[in-house]
Chains A and B, each alone.
Chain A
């Protein structure tokens, strides 16, 4: 995984891979017990990469996520109980927080331009903080990503995109739809590949609600 040279470690991440796995396992159990009446999108397989990335995310930075957001929220400092409460109340797809600053959206690519705007405002205010935008491989291919990335790069905005590539957009292989042999990774983008350990949504087990 490439970390751009201009980024410095600013956080001592206390959470371990086991902590993240245990949180998602607890959500899995609650979902299978029909306690959660809304879709959940669980993380498994990229805990190590997320822990490494969050060493570069300042607690006062903005974090923007998609539907698979539990681990990013935990690593950014959303308390475990607060997050579990959101998830149990059916808010897994729109996990949010004021402090730390976090917004997630379940529309592919929907956070990209919002993250861009927050980065622009941060720069104009003279803040040292930055915005982080976690996106999947299909969002990475959208036109809005290239517009926003171009604008952020040309204006040197404090915005870092993190592309989490499991090559799946729901259950559609991204590389097949774009006929990719190899992807070019634009300047400044953190990119890693992983194999997802859970289905797109749910747990892989039949649940009777």
Chain B
């Protein structure tokens, strides 16, 4: 299967779980590439939210504390930087701060913005994968380079303890 089809397959698998919920901007309404991987899913599993990235990340953490598994979608890596406090100081430090008492599971999806056929420009196409691998101590950071890596990565993210940051290549939606 192709890159985008593997992501759709993964999202469909996740949507079959009772405890999952998908949230972000353009999860229910078209507007970005991530939407095109969610459009076949049941609308009741979707939570369209305002543009408030830091709140979205903290909100995802809080929902996970109550037993949900949020798939929190940030359409571009550049936008994810807007929630660094909620991501780095909180979600990523939860196990340490609570001595393992709380271990919220959030699956974060983001994408390195595509440069072809349109180049989104410097604020929409950056790859911060290595920085995230350096700065995050508890969250599993996964970069999806090949189609065959995708489904196992989301399976692992759901089945393991703790949170994951899963990074897609926007350009591969069409290339691979």
Contacts and interface: CB of A to CB of B under 8 A. Distances in A.
A116 B54 contact: no
Q: Place the interface of chain A in its size category.
A: 20 to 34
Given A103-B102, A105-B89, A119-B62, A113 B55 contact: yes
B60 A117 contact: yes
Nearest to B66: A121
Interface of A: 62, 91, 94, 96-98, 101, 103, 105, 107, 110-122, 124-125, 131, 144, 147-148, 151
Given A103-B98, A117-B61, A121-B68, A110 B89 contact: yes
Given A96-B101, A98-B102, A113-B54, 17 more contacts: A62-B65, A96-B97, A96-B98, A96-B102, A105-B90, A110-B89, A110-B90, A113-B57, A113-B61, A113-B86, A114-B59, A114-B86, A117-B58, A119-B62, A121-B67, A124-B21, A124-B68
Interface residues of B, number: 28
B63 interface: yes
Nearest to B64: A117
| B62, B85, B101 interface centre (most CB from chain A within 10 Å) | B62
Interface of B: 21, 50, 52, 54-68, 70, 85-86, 89-90, 97-99, 101-102
Contacts of B67: 121
Contacts, number: 90
B101 A98 contact: yes
B120 to A, nearest CB: 26
A26 B97 CA distance: 23
Contact of B99 (A62, A96, A101, A114): A96
A62 B61 CA distance: 14
Contact of A117 (B52, B62, B89, B97): B62
A112 B21 CA distance: 21
Contacts of B50: 147, 151
Given A110-B90, A147-B52, A116 B58 contact: yes
